[in-house]
Amino acid sequence: MLGLCPAKTQGTIFAIKRYAIHDGPDLRTTVFFKGCPLSCWWCHNPEGLSHDIRMVTMQDKCVGCGECMEVCPNAALKMSPTGPRRNDAACTTCGMCEETCPALAHETTGCTVDADAVLEIIEKDQVFFNGSQGGVTFSGGEPLAQPGFLLELLRRCGKHGLHRVVDTSGFAENTLLLHVAKETDLFLFDLKHMDTAQHERVTGVPNKLILQNLQSLARQGHPVQIRLPLIPGINDDDKNLKATGAFVAGLTGVSGIDVLPYHSIAKAKYAKLGMEYKGAGIPKSDPADVQRAVRILEGYGLKVRIGG
């Protein structure tokens, strides 16, 4: 038992990215958790939104060999004029089709892993972290959506002397967040919109709890790096930028904010997963608008970085 939350030695993830340079200080290994309580229109990791693990098929990669149908133990795949079609009700995500397909047309959206296996991968990179602030970052999805597994990994990484970052939306029970904070060296905390109605419209949840949690972390002295995903037509207007600047400037011990310009490179992921991309009509961030955002935020005495 880890305080308020039972430790869990298994969890679901969708990727582990080695040698990451944008997920916290210096070089990092980033573990991407599955499951998120938000549904942001511009989410870059749609495969992390659901806790569920399923198989997906890219019809444009299929060469029509039929090998996947031969090995499927549940006859969940049938050939159609446009390629193999999957009966999700019959599919058990055993992965046989993925292992067999010569064209790599089948993929899983995640896997269940043991903490030991994750730590084994992280430990391989530990030599690159020595002498720097490099370390491990837990992202997603939302890592706080699997608190027991997150705490187990944080605790183990702490025993290895690794710098630990949690990349979060901040949408979690305050007691849970503060418990996680005891095992966290830095939070990357997203501020998506200051208006609660607009926040709920574009993310699916209100922002009251998020703002309260951020204030609580700052007040208790937990290191926080705030990030503003700058989404054209959503949160890049002067009113929201001024509200963001004023709020961040009023936080204890917080002096900076990272502005993250929007891009649509995740669009192909949605098509692959058969999901609607609500950000399809959002244009790429204009450099002039990014600089305008920087000037407004700097007007509140904040240190502003582009990217991060």
DSSP annotation string for 76-138? -EEEETTEEEE-TTT-----HHHHH-TT--EEES-EEEEHHHHHHHHHHTHHHHTTSS-EEEE
Candidates 88, 79, 83, 85; CA nearest to 60 is 83
Q: What is the pLDDT of residues 1-43, one digit of tens each?
A: 334 566 688 999 999 999 888 888 988 999 999 999 999 999 9
Eight-class DSSP state of 301 = T
Of the two residues 264 and 285, the one the predictor is more confident about is 285
- Burial label, 188 (beta-carbon count in 10 A; 0-12, 13-18, 19+): buried
How far apart are the C-alpha atoms of 304 and 138, rounded to whole Å? 23
pLDDT of residue 54: 84
How far apart are the C-alpha atoms of 198 and 89, rounded to whole Å? 36
pLDDT of residue 44: 94
How far apart are the C-alpha atoms of 231 and 298, rounded to whole Å? 19
Taking the alpha carbons of 118, 123, 129, 131 in that order, is the dihedral positive or negative? positive
Please tell me the number of Cα atoms within 13 Å of 47 on its side-chain side: 23
pLDDT of residue 181: 97
The gap from C-alpha 77 to its chain's centroid, in whole angstroms, comes to 31
Pairing of strands 224-230, 256-261: parallel
pLDDT of residue 2: 38
pLDDT of residue 3: 43
pLDDT of residue 146: 97
pTM of the model: 0.89
Position 135: which residue type? G
B/e letters for 218-238, b = 16+ CB within 10 Å, e = fewer, are beeebebbbbbbbbbebbbee
Flag the least confident range among 48-52, 125-129, 185-189. 125-129
Q: Which residue's structure tokens are 């009509």?
A: 281
Q: What dihedral angle (degrees, nearest 10) is formed by the CA atoms of 178, 12, 2, 210?
A: 10
Candidates 76, 154, 77; CA nearest to 122 is 154
- Contact indicator for 186, 180 with CB cutoff of 8 Å: no
* Arithmetic mean of pLDDT over the chain: 92
Q: What is the mean pLDDT of residues 275-304?
A: 96
Q: What is the mean pLDDT of residues 265-288?
A: 90
Cis status, amide bond into 48, omega within 30 of 0: no
Backbone phi, psi, residue 60, to 5°: -70, -15
Q: What is the pLDDT of residues 85-107, one digit of tens each?
A: 888 888 888 888 888 888 888 88
How far apart are the C-alpha atoms of 24 and 225, rounded to whole Å? 9
Cβ of 181: how many Cβ atoms within 10 Å? 20
pLDDT of residue 7: 67
Q: What is the pLDDT of residues 132-177, one digit of tens each?
A: 778 999 999 999 999 999 999 999 999 999 999 999 999 999 999 9
Candidates 228, 225, 224, 222; CA nearest to 242 is 228
CA–CA–CA angle 183, 53, 58 (5° rounding): 125
Q: What is the pLDDT of residues 225-258, one digit of tens each?
A: 999 999 999 999 999 999 999 999 999 999 899 9
pLDDT of residue 22: 86
pLDDT of residue 1: 30
